[in-house]
Amino acid sequence: MENVKGKVAFITGAASGIGLGIAKAFGEAGMKAVIADLRKSAIDEVIPYFEERGWPVHGIQLNVTDREAYVRAADEAEEVFGKIHILVNNAGVEVPANKVWDIPYEDIDFITEVNFKGVLNGIHTILPRILKHGEEGHVVSTASQSGLSVVPAFAMYNSTKAAIIALMETLACDLMGTNVGASAFCPGPIEGNLRNTSKEVSAMMGLKRENNAPPPPRRVPERGNLLMDPVEAGRRVLRGIRRKDLYIFTHSEFKDVMTKKCNAMLRAYPDQPVNEEFMRLFSILTVNPIYDMQTQVPAPDWK
């Protein structure tokens, strides 16, 4: 989707961090941004940034787990800006670190509802509207590098993000032959407020935690200024939409661990000859053109 000027984007979790960075990058590019977020006060804080620059913006309080509210939010966005072209399923939460067998069911349900089912709710509500108007469109869902190479003790976060990647790959298959693209956005460490907003959101959603203790300190020591600016991440998302990338990654530093993971998987296939007839008969399993369509992403050209 090369021509984005004047196009309408519905971005969830856009009142903070990466979602806000995406909305700003879209504003820079002349797009109209719907800032959808559960935290109304946070929406009110960020709207002036767009208004001061003359960038079209509209805030909507939305809990992505509320399917009926999602329909109302989509109706409102269309009333304000007209057709929606881009959906960014970015709202997400984390839960405290735990051994898998110790994760409270409340945490399992909370993070699955928001991180995974919230993305499905977005696709279910908004994608049919994009397909119906017939203009070019795109769906991006924010997964994480953690959905590809796991972070110890964060099973639910890793798993919900891995689920989003599988979902977006399958969506890309479903959308082949249409003028709507699909991308899994898998950021590495970006400046954001996930730990704090997750607590706020869980309280707003009425989550009763027996152990609401903050997660233990992460293994990483001092991160200094190495976290990526969310607007920079947003520009990478916009570039991915323009390029129709299946995967939008932020950090080349993860190439090493991914090479090791992919090589480990390749080594796990039995070292025996391939049955060509099997390959042909089960081509729905053994061949998938979506993977061939991802081309090499160059270094950023906007600095």
Residues designated as active site: 157
Give the residue, chosen from 193, 215, 242, 254, that forms a contact with ligand NAD under the rule CB under 6 A: 193
Q: How many of the chain's residues bind ligand NAD (CB under 6 A)?
A: 31
Cβ of residue 36: shortest distance to ligand NAD, in angstroms? Answer: 7
**Separation between Cα atoms, residue 174 and residue 131, nearest integer Å:** 12
Q: Is 119 in the site for ligand NAD (CB under 6 A)?
A: no
196-200: long-range pairs with CB below 8 Å, 24+: 197/16, 197/17, 197/39, 197/42, 197/93, 198/93, 198/94, 198/95, 200/39
One residue of 7, 155, 197, 248 binding ligand NAD per CB under 6 A: 197
Question: Residue 193 Cβ, how far from ligand NAD at the closest point, in Å?
Answer: 4
Q: Measured from the CB of residue 42, what is the shortest distance to ligand NAD in angstroms?
A: 5
DSSP state at residue 117: I
- Cβ atoms of 249 and 297 within 8 Å: the answer is yes
Query: Whole-angstrom Cα distance, residue 182 to residue 194?
Result: 24
Q: Name which position in 1, 8, 10, 12 contacts ligand NAD (CB under 6 A).
A: 12
Q: Any contact of residue 91 with ligand NAD (CB under 6 A)?
A: yes
Amino acid at 102: D
Contact segment (CB under 6 A) with ligand NAD among 25-33, 49-57, 89-97, 266-274 equals: 89-97
The angle, 0 to 180 degrees and rounded to 10, between the axes of the packed helices 67-81 and 118-133 is 40
167 binds ligand NAD per the rule CB under 6 A: no
- Two structure tokens written together for 93: 């939460």
DSSP designation for 36: E
∠62-65-66 over CA atoms, to 5°? Answer: 65
* Neighbouring-strand partners of residue 87: 10, 139
- Site residues for ligand NAD, 36-65, by CB under 6 A, read 37-39, 42, 62-65
Residues lying near ligand NAD in the complex (CB under 6 A):
12-13, 15-19, 37-39, 42, 62-65, 90-93, 114, 118, 142, 144, 187, 189-190, 192-194, 197, 201
